[in-house]
Structure 1
Amino acid sequence: MPIYEYIADTDGCAHCATGFDALQKLADAPLTQCPRCGGQVHRKLSAPSVAIGGAHLTTEKHAGKHGFTQYRRAGGGVYEKTAGKGPKYISGD
Protein backbone atom coordinates (compact mmCIF):
# COMPACT_ATOMS: atom_id res chain seq x y z
CA MET A 1 0.00 0.00 0.00
CA PRO A 2 1.35 3.43 -0.86
CA ILE A 3 1.90 6.25 1.59
CA TYR A 4 0.31 9.49 0.42
CA GLU A 5 1.24 12.97 1.63
CA TYR A 6 -1.48 15.51 2.42
CA ILE A 7 -1.33 19.21 3.28
CA ALA A 8 -3.93 21.80 4.37
CA ASP A 9 -5.62 23.96 1.71
CA THR A 10 -5.81 26.89 4.12
CA ASP A 11 -4.87 27.39 7.75
CA GLY A 12 -5.19 24.15 9.62
CA CYS A 13 -4.07 22.53 12.82
CA ALA A 14 -0.42 21.77 13.55
CA HIS A 15 -0.98 18.29 12.07
CA CYS A 16 -2.22 19.30 8.61
CA ALA A 17 -0.63 22.77 8.23
CA THR A 18 2.84 21.22 7.96
CA GLY A 19 1.60 18.12 6.13
CA PHE A 20 0.99 14.53 7.16
CA ASP A 21 1.28 11.02 5.70
CA ALA A 22 -1.55 8.52 5.25
CA LEU A 23 -1.21 4.83 4.39
CA GLN A 24 -4.02 4.04 1.93
CA LYS A 25 -4.97 1.41 -0.60
CA LEU A 26 -4.77 2.38 -4.27
CA ALA A 27 -8.56 1.98 -4.54
CA ASP A 28 -9.25 4.33 -1.60
CA ALA A 29 -10.55 7.81 -2.36
CA PRO A 30 -8.20 10.69 -1.50
CA LEU A 31 -8.76 12.34 1.87
CA THR A 32 -10.58 15.67 1.78
CA GLN A 33 -10.50 16.47 5.50
CA CYS A 34 -7.83 16.39 8.18
CA PRO A 35 -8.42 13.44 10.52
CA ARG A 36 -7.68 15.65 13.55
CA CYS A 37 -9.32 19.05 12.91
CA GLY A 38 -11.62 18.40 9.94
CA GLY A 39 -9.99 21.14 7.82
CA GLN A 40 -9.79 20.87 4.04
CA VAL A 41 -6.68 19.02 2.75
CA HIS A 42 -5.38 17.89 -0.63
CA ARG A 43 -2.97 15.20 -1.74
CA LYS A 44 0.53 16.54 -2.30
CA LEU A 45 2.57 15.36 -5.28
CA SER A 46 5.81 13.79 -4.07
CA ALA A 47 8.65 11.70 -5.42
CA PRO A 48 8.25 7.92 -5.13
CA SER A 49 10.64 5.80 -3.14
CA VAL A 50 11.95 3.14 -5.50
CA ALA A 51 14.38 0.34 -4.72
CA ILE A 52 15.77 -1.45 -7.75
CA GLY A 53 17.46 -4.75 -7.21
CA GLY A 54 18.97 -6.02 -4.02
CA ALA A 55 22.28 -7.48 -5.10
CA HIS A 56 24.19 -4.86 -3.08
CA LEU A 57 22.53 -6.13 0.11
CA THR A 58 24.16 -9.57 -0.11
CA THR A 59 27.77 -8.51 -0.62
CA GLU A 60 30.41 -9.57 1.89
CA LYS A 61 31.18 -5.95 2.73
CA HIS A 62 27.54 -5.16 3.52
CA ALA A 63 26.99 -8.32 5.61
CA GLY A 64 30.16 -7.83 7.67
CA LYS A 65 29.48 -4.14 8.23
CA HIS A 66 26.10 -4.93 9.78
CA GLY A 67 27.38 -7.71 12.05
CA PHE A 68 26.29 -10.74 10.03
CA THR A 69 28.38 -13.76 9.16
CA GLN A 70 28.23 -14.99 5.58
CA TYR A 71 29.36 -18.36 4.24
CA ARG A 72 29.80 -19.67 0.69
CA ARG A 73 29.63 -23.29 -0.36
CA ALA A 74 33.11 -24.64 -0.98
CA GLY A 75 31.86 -28.06 -2.07
CA GLY A 76 31.39 -31.47 -0.51
CA GLY A 77 29.19 -30.18 2.31
CA VAL A 78 31.78 -27.62 3.40
CA TYR A 79 31.09 -23.89 3.70
CA GLU A 80 33.81 -21.25 4.11
CA LYS A 81 33.36 -17.90 5.83
CA THR A 82 33.45 -14.83 3.57
CA ALA A 83 32.45 -12.13 6.10
CA GLY A 84 31.85 -11.59 9.80
CA LYS A 85 32.84 -13.48 12.92
CA GLY A 86 32.68 -17.22 13.42
CA PRO A 87 34.51 -20.38 12.44
CA LYS A 88 36.42 -20.34 9.15
CA TYR A 89 34.70 -23.47 7.92
CA ILE A 90 31.43 -25.29 8.58
CA SER A 91 31.01 -28.89 7.55
CA GLY A 92 28.40 -31.58 8.08
CA ASP A 93 30.96 -33.99 9.61
Structure 2
Amino acid sequence: MPIYEYIAVAESCSHCCDGFDQLQKLSDPQLSQCPRCGKAVQRKISAPSVAIGGTHLTRESHIEKHGFTQYRKAGGGVYEKTAGKGPDYISGD
Protein backbone atom coordinates (compact mmCIF):
# COMPACT_ATOMS: atom_id res chain seq x y z
CA MET A 1 0.00 0.00 0.00
CA PRO A 2 1.37 3.43 -0.88
CA ILE A 3 1.87 6.26 1.56
CA TYR A 4 0.36 9.52 0.30
CA GLU A 5 1.30 12.98 1.53
CA TYR A 6 -1.41 15.54 2.23
CA ILE A 7 -1.22 19.23 3.08
CA ALA A 8 -3.81 21.81 4.16
CA VAL A 9 -5.38 24.08 1.55
CA ALA A 10 -5.97 26.91 4.06
CA GLU A 11 -5.02 27.59 7.69
CA SER A 12 -5.90 24.66 9.88
CA CYS A 13 -4.62 22.48 12.72
CA SER A 14 -0.96 21.67 13.37
CA HIS A 15 -1.49 18.16 12.01
CA CYS A 16 -2.36 19.19 8.48
CA CYS A 17 -0.80 22.67 8.08
CA ASP A 18 2.71 21.11 8.03
CA GLY A 19 1.47 18.12 6.06
CA PHE A 20 0.91 14.51 7.06
CA ASP A 21 1.33 11.04 5.60
CA GLN A 22 -1.54 8.63 5.08
CA LEU A 23 -1.24 4.92 4.31
CA GLN A 24 -4.00 4.06 1.81
CA LYS A 25 -4.91 1.36 -0.65
CA LEU A 26 -4.68 2.26 -4.33
CA SER A 27 -8.44 1.79 -4.58
CA ASP A 28 -9.19 4.19 -1.68
CA PRO A 29 -10.40 7.66 -2.68
CA GLN A 30 -8.05 10.51 -1.87
CA LEU A 31 -8.77 12.45 1.31
CA SER A 32 -10.52 15.80 0.99
CA GLN A 33 -10.60 16.65 4.72
CA CYS A 34 -8.10 16.47 7.56
CA PRO A 35 -8.95 13.49 9.81
CA ARG A 36 -8.38 15.65 12.92
CA CYS A 37 -9.88 19.07 12.20
CA GLY A 38 -12.05 18.46 9.11
CA LYS A 39 -10.49 21.32 7.08
CA ALA A 40 -9.81 20.90 3.36
CA VAL A 41 -6.59 19.11 2.34
CA GLN A 42 -5.05 18.16 -0.96
CA ARG A 43 -2.72 15.37 -1.95
CA LYS A 44 0.84 16.52 -2.49
CA ILE A 45 2.85 15.22 -5.43
CA SER A 46 6.08 13.74 -4.15
CA ALA A 47 8.86 11.48 -5.35
CA PRO A 48 8.22 7.76 -4.93
CA SER A 49 10.31 5.77 -2.51
CA VAL A 50 11.65 2.71 -4.26
CA ALA A 51 13.44 -0.07 -2.45
CA ILE A 52 15.69 -2.21 -4.58
CA GLY A 53 15.67 -5.70 -3.21
CA GLY A 54 19.20 -6.88 -3.94
CA THR A 55 21.12 -5.41 -1.01
CA HIS A 56 20.66 -8.51 1.15
CA LEU A 57 22.54 -10.55 -1.47
CA THR A 58 25.85 -8.84 -0.63
CA ARG A 59 25.65 -9.41 3.12
CA GLU A 60 28.47 -11.50 4.49
CA SER A 61 26.12 -14.07 6.04
CA HIS A 62 24.36 -14.58 2.70
CA ILE A 63 27.65 -14.98 0.84
CA GLU A 64 29.00 -17.56 3.32
CA LYS A 65 25.71 -19.46 3.39
CA HIS A 66 25.96 -20.09 -0.35
CA GLY A 67 29.61 -21.14 -0.27
CA PHE A 68 31.22 -18.03 -1.73
CA THR A 69 34.18 -16.05 -0.46
CA GLN A 70 34.22 -12.24 -0.51
CA TYR A 71 37.34 -10.07 -0.54
CA ARG A 72 37.92 -6.34 -0.30
CA LYS A 73 40.88 -4.39 -1.58
CA ALA A 74 43.37 -3.68 1.19
CA GLY A 75 45.76 -1.73 -1.04
CA GLY A 76 48.89 -2.41 -3.03
CA GLY A 77 47.42 -5.34 -4.96
CA VAL A 78 46.41 -7.13 -1.75
CA TYR A 79 42.86 -8.27 -1.01
CA GLU A 80 41.67 -9.40 2.42
CA LYS A 81 38.86 -11.86 3.12
CA THR A 82 35.64 -10.45 4.56
CA ALA A 83 33.45 -13.57 4.31
CA GLY A 84 33.67 -17.21 3.35
CA LYS A 85 36.17 -20.06 3.50
CA GLY A 86 39.16 -18.95 1.50
CA PRO A 87 42.68 -17.72 2.14
CA ASP A 88 42.84 -14.72 4.47
CA TYR A 89 44.74 -12.65 1.90
CA ILE A 90 45.25 -12.68 -1.86
CA SER A 91 48.05 -10.78 -3.51
CA GLY A 92 49.18 -10.39 -7.08
CA ASP A 93 52.79 -11.31 -6.22
TM-score by length of 1: 0.64
Cα distance in 2 for partners of 1:29, 1:47 equals: 20
Paired with 2:18 and 2:5, the residues of 1 have a C-alpha distance of: 11
Alpha-carbon offset, residue 58 of structure 1: 1.8
Q: Distance in 1 between matches of 2:22 and 2:28?
A: 11
The one-letter code sitting in structure 2 at the alignment partner of 1:52 is I
Residues 34, 69 of structure 1: alpha-carbon distance in 2 compared, 3 angstrom cutoff: same
Aligned to 1:37: 37
Give the CA deviation at 1:51. 2.2
1:3 aligned partner, one-letter code? I
> Distance between the aligned counterparts of 2:49 and 2:43, measured in 1?
17
User: Structure 1: which 5+ runs fail to align?
Assistant: 75-81, 89-93
**Counterpart of 2:66?**
72
Q: Which residue of 1 aligns with 2:51?
A: 51
Q: 1:17 to 1:57 in 2, by over 3 A?
A: same
Extract structure 1 runs of 4+ deviating beyond 6 A. Answer: none
Structure 1 Cα separation of the partners of residues 16 and 60 of structure 2 = 40
Shift of 1:69: 8.7
Residue 79 of structure 1 aligns with which residue?
none
**Aligned Cα RMSD in Å?**
2.6
Task: Give unpaired runs (5+ residues) of structure 2.
Answer: 69-82, 86-93
Aligned-pair identity (%): 56
SS in 2 for 1:58: helix
Between the two proteins, the alignment pairs up a number of residues equal to 72
Show the counterpart of 2:78.
none
